[in-house]
Structure 1
């Protein structure tokens, strides 16, 4: 079953002022969301998701990783992934596509990352907002890079679709000033 992409949505956010103070350089976050046909929708309960995951996940991971890194336009310091499954699908359908090395390794390689990608997945109607968690690409304990980016596609996912997304930040939170985790241990 080939990958069937209906739309790709790209959002780049730049924060220039936080807490009334300038952010220099501007804090950049990019999100790329692919709305795809749910390859399992309408087929009833499918026990073995692996054949379709093997066929689709790598291509999808490569497509999104290349686009989000390009959209960010800077080295990736924090990253995350997400899936929203339309109402006729199962959360496992989105999880199956994003929780495989076939998908995630493209982003890890593009970001020179070593940590696991934080993720969010759920089933929801079109236009649902979801928050993509971000963590540092090489050290998940670096507090300044724990942040969340909000994303949505107004007309997706339709009941038989999945929205799959990657998010990347060029830095930690603007004006981050929490003490390092080690200071509490």
Structure 2
């Protein structure tokens, strides 16, 4: 059985110049990509849904690459990421949880994660610095009707405690998901909130390289 049937792919990219304060020297670029696909488990309770998780791996990798291309920046420019899912009304919340692993690891692989924190501490990250994509990818999900919006959380790719990068990007696909569909979403950003000024751990002060601080 082919578990993947994609109906639409929706991409959005935005540049934020200011939020009422001074114009940023470099606008904040954020992007999201959403794939609308059939939910093979809609309308019934299926005890074993893990085959869908495995099938979503290639979807995640393709979406991550397409999002980076749409944002038109080098991989080294990506500083924040997040993911999410919207489940049509005939599905259940757990169907959206199938996206946690495929969506998260797709972006981490694209950004150079090796799965070995010790390697990053030795300076063996893909960028030649002390790490890339060490932080867990934040996520959210909900069941919703066509046109439902989801606030996809964003945090720094190397340290979840970098306060300037706490953010969220609203994503909505018009007309989706239908009751028997899923919308799976990836989001990336190229920097901090455009007027970030509330202190906390700064991106240039990451020291532990443990994905948190």
For 2:185, the equivalent position in structure 1 comes to 165
Following the alignment from structure 1 to structure 2, what is the Cα–Cα distance between the partners of residues 127 and 88?
Answer: 15
The answer to whether structure 1 residue 115 and structure 2 residue 114 are counterparts is no
- TM-score, reference length from structure 2: 0.80
Q: Which of 143-152 and 66-75 deviates more? A: 66-75
5 Å-filtered alignment, 1:3-82, equals: 3-42=4-43, 44-54=44-54, 56-74=55-73, 75-82=77-84
Aligned-residue Cα RMSD (Å) equals 1.4
2-side partners of 1:128 and 1:51: how far apart?
Answer: 26
For the residues of structure 2 that align with 1:103 and 1:58, how far apart are their CA atoms? 7
1:31 aligns to what SS in structure 2?
strand
Runs (4 or more) in structure 1 with deviation over 6 Å come to none
Aligned counterparts of 1:3 and 1:59: Cα–Cα separation in 2: 10
Q: Deviations over 1:145-178 (max 9, x none)?
A: 0001111011000000000000000001001111
Task: Name whichever structure is richer in strand by fraction.
Answer: 1
> 1:8-40 CA deviation, whole Å, 9 max, x = no partner?
110001111222311121110000010011121
Shift of 1:62: 0.8
- Size of the aligned set, in residue pairs, is 178
Report the equivalent of 2:129: none
| Structure 2: distance between partners of 1:128 and 1:52 | 23
Q: Distance between the aligned counterparts of 2:138 and 2:18, measured in 1?
A: 27
Query: Unaligned stretches of 5+ in structure 1?
Result: none
* Gaps in structure 2 of 5+ consecutive residues: 113-132, 203-213
Tell me if structure 1 keeps the 8 A contact 2:18–2:195.
no
